[in-house]
Amino acid sequence: MSDRPILLDFEKPLVELEGKIEQIRNLSQETNVDVSDQIEHLEQRADQLRREIFHNLGPMQRMQIARHPRRPSTLDYVQAITDEWLELHGDRRGNDDPALVGGIAKLGDWSVVIVGHQKGRDTKDNIARNFGMAAPGGYRKALRLMEYADRFGMPIVTLIDTPGADPGVSAEEQGQGEAIAVNLRQMFSFSVPIICTVIGEGGSGGALGIGVGDHLMMFENSVYTVATPEACAAILWRDSAKAPKAAEALKITANDLERLGIIDQILAEPLGGSHRDPLKAAAALKSALISNLSRLSKMEASDLQEHRYQKFRKMGVFLEG
């Protein structure tokens, strides 16, 4: 894959300014003219512009960052935050879906089971991974691993990053809805701590299939939604160009979902997105996971289950004036 940066639309003014700074710096070296004051002024302006852009992003702009092809994936985070990792394969029914990966890991002092969606890094890899859209076999594989975790007393960590479950005919024939529904039911019954984190795009039932937990976190530029803004706009207005309007109404951002009580914690990202500094993003994730594992591990199994049940029962409750 090319090392050339992938630019998002709203980043172009910043990139143009950074390009001018580089041109002036190169010109000063060629002509031996001191322009350090001008460069310093432009760099201050670039820093200010960078903060203005990334501190005032709209829902669709955050969606663009969440979908960035170089955003860290599940396996990227696993490599960065764990000391040991053993990937496990197969749903024991003849399938091993590469769009949903899982295994046993050492996270700090904890032995945990990690499951998560896995997108590709380029077109070929994305096709192999089905763009992170898991088929029923993927959710059954995840359930098998989570049942192992429950049996052996290991906490469960899930990393969510999918536009949705595989919508193909084959997936429906294999029982896509049933596979996700069984996961939802069983995750409520587990007696071990479950921590779920939306690391990129959390879409529809595909995200919910590994999204029932005691503590739900989101990176600040990730999104979590019942349907993509494009799909919502096509359904409501028959015009996918109205996706930004749909994104505003859907309340897909971490800040919106925290205010609504859907998520429990927002993880800060490096300025510009997790893809700008993956190791810094991984350090934030690891710290949050260990902190919450320490807290949740002190709770009795019955208290965990009751807390988990009540957490989801409260979602969607509203009062009429």
What pLDDT, in 10s, does the model give residues 303-314?
A: 999 999 999 998
CB contact at 8 A, 132 and 99? yes
Percent of the chain residues past pLDDT 90, beyond the cut: 71
pLDDT of the residue at 297: 94
The vertex-58 CA angle with 52 and 59, nearest 5°, equals 145
Does 1 score more than 50 pLDDT?
Answer: no
Which comes out higher in pLDDT, residue 31 or 221?
221
Tokens of 200: 């990129």
List, for residues 191-219, the tens digit of each pLDDT value: 999 999 999 999 989 999 999 999 999 99
CA dihedral 286, 291, 294, 298 (to 10 degrees): -140
Distance CA 74, CA 121 (A): 12
pLDDT of the residue at 315: 87
List, for residues 34-61, the tens digit of each pLDDT value: 777 777 778 778 777 777 778 788 899 8
Distance CA 78, CA 89 (A): 16
Does 4 score more than 70 pLDDT?
Answer: no
Rounded-to-5 percentages of helix, strand, coil across the chain: 55, 15, 30
Does 268 score more than 80 pLDDT?
Answer: yes
The vertex-239 CA angle with 233 and 245, nearest 5°, equals 45
Confidence at 28, pLDDT banded by 50, 70, 90: confident
Does 77 score more than 50 pLDDT?
Answer: yes
Q: Does domain 62-313 have CATH number 3.30.360.10?
A: no
The residues, any chain, with a CB within 8 Å of residue 238's CB and separated by 6 or more, are none
Does 7 score more than 70 pLDDT?
Answer: no
pLDDT of the residue at 42: 80
Tokens of 302: 């019955």
Distance CA 308, CA 187 (A): 9
CB contact at 8 A, 232 and 62? no
Confidence at 250, pLDDT banded by 50, 70, 90: very high
Lowest mean pLDDT among 49-58, 157-166, 296-305: 49-58
CB contact at 8 A, 280 and 186? no
Does 151 score more than 80 pLDDT?
Answer: yes
Across the chain, mean pLDDT equals 90
Tell me what the mean pLDDT of segment 242-270 comes to. Answer: 93
pLDDT of the residue at 3: 52
Distance CA 136, CA 115 (A): 15
| Locus of tokens 């914690």 | 265
pLDDT of the residue at 318: 67
Does 67 score more than 80 pLDDT?
Answer: yes
Domain locations along the chain: 9-56, 62-313
Lowest mean pLDDT among 77-81, 226-230, 264-268: 226-230
What number of other Cβ atoms are within 10 A of residue 291's Cβ? 13
Distance CA 40, CA 9 (A): 26
